Structure 1
Amino acid sequence: MQGSGPVLFFDSGLGGLTVLREARYLLPYEPLLYVADDAAFPIGRWPEAELKERIVSLFDDLIAEHGPKSVVIACNTAFTLAGDALRERHPDVPFVGTVPAIKPAAERTSSGLISVLATPGTVRRTYTRSLIESFASQCHVRLVGSDKLAELAEKHLRGDTVSDADLLPEISDCFLEQDGKRTDIVVLACTHYPFLANRFRRIAPWPVDWLDPAEAIARQLVRVLGEGAASEPSRHLPDRAIFTSGTKDAGVSRLLAGFGLVLD
């Protein structure tokens, strides 16, 4: 059931930190808990039935243990697969999901050529195709699935070397020229990808709008919390991060500290 605990952010790895960062700007006094299911990373390669079962089981434990005030599923793959099941199973917990930002892309495009850069799981999902049918039926939407980008984003964020030659093949299919028009918006449909956005801008064949949904997700969290959001400082333990692998890596601890988190 819904509790008075922290706002819980969930992702398979470090990508959800892009959403947590935006939420911290808008909710400076809210206690936060970041949960990374890094033991299952990258989740886009899991069989869907097994992954859904894992996510649902994991949240049974997380909600029972932490009594979150709200839960942000900061992962397109996890939410499009298991979001409905989680809401049905925990009806008293407000869930904020992450879905590909196809509707705002369709509203913003000038050329009508949109690409959705995602994990293979998100590309396969019926949920994604239903968003296109509902909000972008007048656009040409290209779905581009990358097996490697989430892992490359993790490497980049941890300070490991990621070359342009590694990145370019993963994004090149996003760029389409058709009838004298060019792709003008690329939807970043994985929360890991915004960490690479500046690299993408530099190596892209032409300028496009790289659409990051993190701010919109954070605004939705504010709406969901409503009057229940903390409006002044209170005494609470430091914001924490939990990794399902149990890692105590010093580099990860330093990285999380930059986001105001202590690794449990």
Structure 2
Amino acid sequence: MTPTSQQRPIGVFDSGIGGLSVLRALQAELPHERFVYLADSGHAPYGERGDAYVAARTHAITRYLQAVHGIKALVVACNTATAAAIHEVRTQCPDLPLVGLEPAIKPAVALSQTGRIGVIGTRGTLTSGKFALLLGSLQSQAEFVVQPCDGLAYAIERSTEHAVPDAAESSEVRELCTRYIAAMGTFGTAAGHIDTLVLGCTHYVFAEEELRALIGPAVRLVDTGEPVARQTRRLLQATGLLADPGDEIPAACDRMQLITTGSLLPLQAAAQRWLQLPARCCSTATVPADGAGAMVHEANRALAQ
């Protein structure tokens, strides 16, 4: 039976597993919706590649999710891809409801009491023209300490390859967090201290424990998951595409299909660890430059059974 417009899935993608933090927020906000999540791990990390490369992957994945999965809306759960390509996707797909990410510095300004705000993210995000415009619009309202965190997203990605964190991989995440937080200055609630830290990459939510240990309990951590989920709900309501709340909530793997262009096992481990999803909800795909020609390798689901 052909699904109605409301029953079609929402597409969500990121360069890797970081966008699962956004997917988790979407799942909580929209319990009756179906989702197709694509981790482009075979072409990561985005944050240390050029805009042209990231834009090409964004266009290919958008075409793939439309052609193969018939998505009704797209959440670009990647700050780097949003900065590099979302304006082009809006132009090329004017009928596709689209939600992108940007570092949550606007909410941070409202939360900060000292007026000194830290922002961590990938170099691709923090050196983008889109971020420069956002930061410039708020410079008069707060002082921002901006810190690119080369290698951190990739280290977090590797640290989730096992349901139980590997000691060496966890140590690498801690060491990188320690290095970058130390470079930013003093955190705390006293005058002149950084009292709010913006997580400008979806991966960083999965290093919250390490970051919290470094900045202390009083500093606010701000990420984009919940605001993006609320914006997605508003957009679906405005376009008449919100799933019927009277419908039965789908079973786990009917509701959440997770796909990777890289190795399957890391996505399965991350899905189990962060979303409590069985490994059978995950599969692999090849998403070539033309996007629509991708082949989903459903046989990989057998590894979980």
The alpha-carbon deviation at position 166 of structure 1 amounts to: 3.8
Deviation track 1:220-255 (CA, whole Å, cap 9, x = no partner) reads 11111115322121668352111112x332x53243
Mapping of residues 125-136 of structure 1, within 5 Å = 125-136=128-139
After the TM superposition, list the runs of 4 or more consecutive aligned residues in structure 1 that deviate by more than 6 angstroms.
none
The amino acid of 1:28's aligned partner reads: P
Q: Give the aligned partner of residue 101 of structure 1.
A: 104
Deviation track 1:8-57 (CA, whole Å, cap 9, x = no partner) reads 11101111111111111111111111101101111111122222122213
Asked if the contact 1:9/1:20 (under 8 Å) is kept, the reply is: yes
The alpha-carbon deviation at position 170 of structure 1 amounts to: 2.5
Asked if the contact 2:79/2:201 (under 8 Å) is kept, the reply is: yes
Q: Give the aligned partner of residue 49 of structure 1.
A: 52
Q: Does 1:29 align with 2:32?
A: yes
Asked if the contact 1:113/1:141 (under 8 Å) is kept, the reply is: yes
Q: Does 1:215 align with 2:215?
A: no
Measure, in 2, the Cα distance between the counterparts of 1:196 and 1:175: 19
The amino acid of 2:259's aligned partner reads: I
Q: 1:5 aligns with which of 4, 8, 19?
A: 8
Measure, in 2, the Cα distance between the counterparts of 1:233 and 1:206: 40
Asked if the contact 1:42/1:151 (under 8 Å) is kept, the reply is: yes
Q: Give the aligned partner of residue 184 of structure 2.
A: 174
Measure, in 1, the Cα distance between the counterparts of 2:218 and 2:159: 22
Identity %: 32
The alpha-carbon deviation at position 205 of structure 1 amounts to: 6.4
Give the structure-2-normalised TM-score.
0.79
Deviation track 1:135-177 (CA, whole Å, cap 9, x = no partner) reads 3423111211011110222233332232233420022223348
Q: Give the aligned partner of residue 166 of structure 2.
A: 160
Q: Give the aligned partner of residue 298 of structure 2.
A: none
The amino acid of 1:211's aligned partner reads: V
Measure, in 2, the Cα distance between the counterparts of 1:118 and 1:254: 24
Q: Does 1:242 align with 2:259?
A: yes
How many residues of Structure 1 are paired with residues of Structure 2 in the alignment?
260
Asked if the contact 1:45/1:121 (under 8 Å) is kept, the reply is: yes
Q: Give the aligned partner of residue 255 of structure 1.
A: 270
Q: Give the aligned partner of residue 292 of structure 2.
A: none
User: SS where residue 264 of structure 2 aligns?
Assistant: coil
Measure, in 1, the Cα distance between the counterparts of 2:114 and 2:221: 15
User: SS where residue 140 of structure 2 aligns?
Assistant: coil
Deviation track 1:45-83 (CA, whole Å, cap 9, x = no partner) reads 112222212221332222122121111111100011100
Where does structure 1 lack aligned partners over 5 or more consecutive residues? none
Give the structure-1-normalised TM-score.
0.90
Shifted more, 126-135 versus 84-93: the winner is: 126-135
The alpha-carbon deviation at position 181 of structure 1 amounts to: 1.3
Measure, in 1, the Cα distance between the counterparts of 2:264 and 2:217: 41
The amino acid of 1:241's aligned partner reads: L
Asked if the contact 2:31/2:249 (under 8 Å) is kept, the reply is: no
Asked if the contact 1:9/1:73 (under 8 Å) is kept, the reply is: yes
How large is the RMSD of aligned CA atoms in angstroms? 2.2
